[in-house]
Amino acid sequence: MKQRALRLATWSLVRGMRMLGPEKMLKVVTRLKWTDPVFAELVASSASPPGPVMSLSVDDDLARRLDEIPSEASPRERRALYRFFVDSWPGQCSVVEIGPFLGSTSRAIALGMRDNPHRGPDTRLYTYDRFGHYYSKDALIEFLGPLVAAGTLSAEDLRSIGDAGTFLDVFNRIHKGCDYGDLIVPVGRELPDLPVDAGVSSHWFALPAGVDFDAFFVDGCKGWYATKYFMRECCRVAEPGSFFLFQDYLQYTCFWIPSFIETLRDHFSLTWYVDQTYAFRLRKPLTADQIDDVFPDAPDILGRDGFLAMFRRIIDAAVARNDYDAKVKHTAQLAAALTYIGDQSEARKTFANLFHEPAAANHKLLLRRARISPTYRPNGAGGEPILLEEE
């Protein structure tokens, strides 16, 4: 009875705190040392949107460093990565990142690792990328102009960029001289787009032998099979309790990310999210054979009914946690999946219904872009857009 009374009083307190609004509410929570997990759960479910019960604030100098490198990750996402690796990462195993590009997220992760008081001395951030073929040489040089103007790079550094826009030397120049530079191990490997590609080269993504990992930041899984390949390799070494942080979880083109998590939902639990980055914890061992049994090599095998049922579950879960941005973007991902497998009629119907959703009002521009080209087919050079409507 006492426990029930305490929880009722706790819930009353939470409901009162909601009047502060989500941002102020989370600030109050992070300044207090709540030890009751029931209270923490109530707070997490009461903020709107709920997101993480953690502070995203950093001092001005750190904010400048986190925002210096051009990035598709939002400022909030970079701060969340820093705070996660300071406060929540266990610190005893190394970390994997795939798809860093110039390394704004690499910097956020490595700075967090550096500042984590529990970090083991041998832990490192292994960051994988093809380090090229994003831009032409001239376009990449122009893109890097702000870093030259800031003094982070020199004109001499830009001369190391190859004809195919290769930039590993530039990546090292940005990071290696920094106070976290010794933590970063860049590896020039990428993911195969299709099963037929996987056996062609010995230079695909592979984790080093003899290194333990417990956190995986994913921003380079740009296709269905690439995602499967990456997760098969990582789950080979990931122990229960390991974290998987997906930067593209809500990206409307990347329907394969939530599809993978939902297909293997018994193995993953959502722990926090900020903007499009969603973090999951591995609940129990997951083997390559288990992945192969339920997640096909290509999305076409699931068909229309399979995707409709899958995304209904995903969308229902988003609504249950009051995550209406996710509801909108998961619906766009459903349309993307339907477009990918050739059911354009159902995809257009999905978009038409979505535009009438109240939650879609803040995403009109994004949804108009998505309706023109909801997704793409990976082709080893970025991807070939799949058109649904005329511009």
Angle at alpha carbon of residue 382, lines to 373 and 79, rounded to 5°: 90
Q: Per the structure block, which two tokens stand in for 40? A: 């923490």
Helices (H), the chain: 2-17, 22-31, 37-46, 60-68, 75-87, 104-115, 137-143, 145-149, 155-158, 168-175, 195-198, 224-235, 256-263, 288-294, 303-320, 324-340, 344-354, 364-372
* CATH no. of 60-131+167-294: 3.40.50.150
* Positions of the chain with pLDDT lower than 70, given as ranges: 1-54, 201, 380-382, 391
Q: Per the structure block, which two tokens stand in for 56? A: 């995203």
Residue pair 40/17 in contact (Cβ under 8 Å)? The answer is: no
pTM of the shown model: 0.86
- Per domain, the residue ranges of the chain are 2-46, 60-131+167-294, 301-386
pLDDT digits (tens, 9 = 90+) for 232-281: 999 999 999 999 999 999 999 999 999 999 999 999 999 999 999 999 99
pLDDT digits (tens, 9 = 90+) for 60-73: 999 999 999 999 99
pLDDT digits (tens, 9 = 90+) for 283-292: 999 999 999 9
Task: Output the pLDDT for position 49.
Answer: 44
Residue 54: count other Cβ atoms within 10 Å of its Cβ. 18
Task: Output the pLDDT for position 380.
Answer: 63
Place of tokens 């032998």: 209
